């Protein structure tokens, strides 16, 4: 889960602010309900892939394959305990089984994931201004150190939901403000800071040693994030846009300052248009880029900018066409991702190859009754990787499927 959470502390608050902006735009003209609402969402996600090499491609020359089964549970509560105070609460945990079956890289792990809890309080008593405070906490209920062959269960973060399965105690407060401008437009600005607790990760395995495998104490850098978002709704048109900037301090390995990840920039936008009451189109695009990391210079005994940038820019596009018929909602979709160059993530100790990824599939949701629905989705994806100009393109094919249900009280 570390790769997912590592991304979330950088741009998760931006996504949250965009969602908040969208919800606020559509409800500015309505008084908040005093009663609390509670919802639970359970999913079962399945990912399976096979390719001309395993992960990482340099670890084996044999054809590769892997499977991951992930069951996240999300519980949310929303209400207005005081006249001018709106509160939103969220908790998420889960269980995961992950296995790579590539010859020479075989390994599996079964574990709970980290638990994420968050809360947001928004003050509605000032006309034209809605200040809010948020707190996001990661509880270390997952697994950080994978010994022996179990480490091979970590797979490409562009394929599976969870590339790693835990980190330390993280505490991330955020303050911000919503600025409603009329009933159609809202701006949101926020500033957050995440303290990230230490955890232990397995050290490299020495096959000649008879001693138990050692661990490394990882002291992750703290992350400061600034973000802004805009939400606009007019008749059948909805526009959402967000931007964020994140800066991270140095990470310590066994109490030695070892590296600092490069500053990260994220831009995203969504355009939605309702053609009829039962048909709409949604297009989403995002761009994420990071500057050079700073790494330890063994002679100077301090961290300096790396000689070449080991980060990549990632472009994502998604087109979806929901159609509603009675109690059914069906949404075919296509998506595209491009990672422009090879990169290495020292947080997860993973080499992430440059690639293009194309996916096609769809989702369906059926409302059984008010407050209760079932959902499912399936996607087939094609990935082409090119490690260097001298190596042939590597190909990966796979499926992602999901079954789930939601209940609102």
Chain segment 160-191, per-residue pLDDT in tens: 999 999 999 999 999 999 999 888 999 999 99
| Nearest of 355, 357, 352, 376 to residue 365 by alpha carbon | 376
Domain ranges of the chain: 2-408
Mean pLDDT value of segment 130-153: 95
Q: Indicate the CATH number for domain 2-408.
A: 2.40.160
Span 39-47, mean pLDDT? 97
Mean pLDDT of the chain: 88
> What is the average per-residue pLDDT within 97-123?
96
How much of the chain is in helix, strand and coil states, percent to nearest 5?
Answer: 10, 60, 30
Residue 120 reports pLDDT greater than 80 = yes
Spell out the residues 6+ positions from residue 360 whose beta carbon is closer than 8 angstroms to its own: 333, 334, 335, 379, 380, 381
Distance linking the first and last C-alpha atoms of the chain: 29
Residue 388 has pLDDT above 70, yes or no: no
CA distances from 238 to 101, 186, 232, 281 (A): 44, 12, 6, 10
Query: Considering the entire predicted model, what is its pTM?
Result: 0.86
């Amino acid at each position: 889960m570390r790769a997912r959470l590592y991304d979330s502390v950088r741009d998760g608050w931006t996504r949250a602010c965009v969602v908040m902006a969208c919800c606020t735009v559509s409800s500015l003209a309505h008084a908040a309900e005093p009663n609390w609402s509670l919802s639970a969402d359970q999913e079962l996600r399945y990912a399976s892939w096979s390719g001309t090499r395993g992960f990482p491609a340099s670890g084996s020359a044999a054809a590769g394959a892997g499977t991951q089964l992930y069951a996240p549970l999300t519980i949310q509560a929303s209400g207005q305990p005081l006249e001018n105070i709106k509160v939103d609460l969220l908790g998420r945990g889960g269980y995961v089984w992950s296995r790579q079956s590539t010859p020479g890289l075989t390994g599996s792990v079964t574990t709970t994931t980290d638990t994420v809890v968050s809360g947001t309080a928004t003050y509605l008593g000032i006309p034209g201004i809605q200040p809010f405070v948020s707190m996001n906490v990661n509880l270390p209920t997952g697994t950080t150190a994978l010994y022996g062959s179990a480490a091979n269960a970590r797979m490409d973060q562009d394929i599976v939901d969870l590339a790693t399965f835990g980190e330390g105690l993280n505490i991330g407060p955020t303050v911000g403000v919503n600025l409603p401008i009329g009933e159609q437009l809202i701006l949101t600005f926020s500033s957050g800071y995440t303290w990230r607790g230490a955890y232990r990760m397995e050290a490299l395995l020495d096959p000649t040693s008879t001693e138990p495998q050692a661990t490394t104490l990882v002291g992750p850098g703290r992350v400061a994030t600034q973000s802004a978002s805009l939400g606009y709704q007019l008749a059948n048109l909805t526009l959402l846009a967000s931007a964020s900037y994140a800066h991270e301090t140095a990470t310590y390995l066994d109490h030695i300052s070892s590296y600092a990840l490069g500053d990260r920039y994220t831009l995203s936008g969504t355009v939605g248009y309702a053609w009829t009451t039962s048909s709409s189109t949604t297009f989403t695009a995002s761009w994420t880029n990071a500057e050079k990391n700073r790494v330890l210079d063994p002679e100077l005994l301090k961290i300096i900018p790396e000689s070449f940038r080991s980060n990549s820019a990632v472009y994502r596009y998604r087109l979806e066409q929901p159609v509603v018929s009675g109690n059914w909602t069906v949404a075919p979709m296509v998506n595209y991702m491009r990672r422009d160059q090879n990169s290495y993530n020292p947080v997860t100790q993973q080499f992430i190859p440059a690639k293009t990824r194309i996916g096609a599939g769809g989702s369906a949701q059926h409302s059984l009754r008010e407050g209760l629905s079932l959902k499912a989705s399936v996607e087939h994806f094609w990935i082409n990787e090119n490690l260097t100009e001298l190596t042939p393109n590597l190909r990966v094919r796979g499926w992602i499927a999901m079954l789930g249900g939601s209940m609102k009280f």
